[in-house]
Structure 1
């Protein structure tokens, strides 16, 4: 997946989709992209585009209105306001017939990237905040808390969004999708991916790298609960292999990281990864570097360490010592100063 870093916003519009209303409140005007508004929208775009949960997708052959009208806009046959109203209307209809979808503002953004133009659909769910309410009766001041519902916050993380690009034959993906808290109905349909967008997610190098690392950690915790030395050796070996290789074959990996006298352990390790559809993949080095830049260790509910990857690998700063009984000591070395807080 292309790593998008260069974003230039062209225009944007926002609509209100409130479950308490009979119809969506559709905006007839583009947002005024003042410096503050531009920065607000840009911060959301940048945050989502860096999110590890962002996935590539292809539109299904049978197009939803979002697919059809987005391409009309990207081809110059429709303006953004018209497209955004179609998208907002579709989402509101889904919200009316699907229980549990929270009210939101739908932010629709047209922007250019180093890879070409895109349209962003960001579903910004409302959040509950509190303010004070002052009542004065007979010179007595009564101050109470009152909840208010607001839709926009520069701190609120977007849970669902899509970035749509022009569709061309042979491209790696049609759109990028974020769907954190997916909602699936009794027929197995996801309202955001299937009903609104009409797309299928696809796995890329980052997805496989991330899934592999997470699965290895789960397997390690399950199989080496009271064998800290074995757990540490396996974790370190996996990190080394990922750093040193462009492609991973789990059979070759198992041969390298698991001792020859542990054939059942090797068999279980391979079977576990196979069960999760991972056998061969290309390592996403950028994701790997990001993941290994910080090592978080939780020894118990009372002890937790946060160490940079460089310090963890530096024998002069940090060392794992085998006690010979399956346990280990973690030694922080050459401390000249430290602070608390």
Structure 2
């Protein structure tokens, strides 16, 4: 994913100071450290935890995003101001820095809103007292996370069609923890993240499987297998295909699974964006198993699906044996 930064600005939200400090000058994107920091943070918006959706064009935030390319400095401040009207009402939301960035990806213009919470870190201080050099320990209250870490909260938006990707955290508002960023700032109901969708499908399958006395580990592994296959083939999670894989010829169980899925996610085909499909292949392309005797295994999906390479055997005493077959070489690694 190639990203070309165009404009960026940093606004300071130190809640101990009161009102935000809005910058009137853009960041220097010729500075390689600044460029790498922002580029890496933007790339990490796309993950298995990312929610997706489309911002309404008639919304306040949608209108502001459309203005960014013509009046970047003032509009970026207005976006943060709109966000802070909500954020400041939280009892426990921390101080942070906000980066507003415009960038190009695949010849399309995007905006990124990156919120980086402050962290405490210690460092040294060299001083002079009565002609004597001294070294002391001091604490910084407003250290930002490193470039290899993702933003604490963020969203990126295609400026043309207002399609967004979002990572958010819950904070307390009048004693209730809510996803304020989607519900009150961009005011759009997002599609659940890949991770949340998979958890929901897995939970429903395990519940139905338990009713029909199917081994939990088999249900879990078959769910993961089916999800990986449907994402790879169709670019979405097809819960009907999941039901057919997990419950095979048990049409009653498939119907129960279908009804419970519709009740929880109101759809049987859950879309997965192109960028997140790539992440899904890496995340769900292996079966990771932990056995009760302490053995842990990470098995590529194509191996897991081949009975000539691995087999799970249900023993008469209720235990399970794992048979690994046709191995030409065993490599020991420290």
What TM-score does the superposition give when structure 1 sets the normalisation length? 0.75
Q: Distance in 2 between the 1:144 and 1:226 partners?
A: 62
> In 1, are the aligned partners of 2:9 and 2:23 still within 8 Å (CA)?
yes
Q: Deviations over 1:122-144 (max 9, x none)?
A: 1111122233568999x9x9976
Q: Which runs of 5+ in 2 are unaligned?
A: none
Aligned to 1:297: 289
Relative to structure 1, is the Cα distance of residues 202 and 29 closer, same or farther in structure 2, using a 3 angstrom cutoff?
A: same
CA shift in 2, pair 1:255/1:148, >3 Å:
closer
Deviations 1:87-111 (A, max 9, x none): 2333334343332211111011111
State the partner residue of 1:275: 263
CA distance in 2 between partners of 1:303 and 1:134 (Å): 51
Aligned residue for 2:100, secondary structure, equals strand
Report the alpha carbon displacement of residue 166 of structure 1 after superposing the two structures with TM: 3.0
**Of 9, 12, 27, the match for 2:8:** 12
Q: What do residues 244-300 of structure 1 show as CA deviations (whole Å, max 9, x unaligned)?
A: 76487656754564255x566445433432331355316756465333322211224
Aligned partner of residue 276 in structure 1, secondary structure: helix
| Contact 2:227–2:238 (Cα < 8 Å) also in 1 | no
CA contact (8 A) 1:318 1:330 kept: yes
Structure 1 spans left out of the alignment, 5+ residues:
none
Aligned residues: 320
Q: Equivalent of 1:239, from 225, 234, 251?
A: 225
**In the alignment, is the contact (CA less than 8 A) between 1:224 and 1:230 conserved in 2?**
yes
Q: 1:175 aligns with which of 163, 168, 172?
A: 163
User: Paired residue for 1:155?
Assistant: 148
CA distance in 1, matches of 2:301, 2:109: 37
Residue 212 of structure 1 contacts residue 278 of structure 1 at CA under 8 Å; is this kept in 2?
A: no
Q: Distance in 2 between matches of 1:191 and 1:113?
A: 27
Deviation at 1:38, TM superposition (A): 1.1
Tell me, yes or no, if the aligned pair for 1:54 and 1:176 is still in contact at 8 Å: no
With over 3 angstroms needed to count, the CA separation of the structure-2 counterparts of 1:290 and 1:110, relative to structure 1, is: same
Within the candidate set 194, 197, 202, 2:186 is matched to 197
The 1-side partners of 2:62 and 2:202 are apart by 38
Q: Secondary structure at the match of 1:200?
A: coil
Map 1:4-153; keep pairs closer than 5 Å: 5-33=1-29, 34-48=31-45, 50-60=46-56, 62-64=58-60, 66-74=61-69, 76=70, 78=71, 80-132=72-124, 146=139, 148-153=141-146
Which stretch shifts more, 91-100 or 223-232? 223-232
* Alpha-carbon distance between aligned partners in 1 of 2:220 and 2:173, rounded to the nearest angstrom: 40
Q: By how many angstroms is 1:229 displaced? A: 5.1
Q: Report the 3-state secondary structure (helix = DSSP H, G, I; strand = E; otherwise coil) of the residue aligned with 1:181.
A: coil
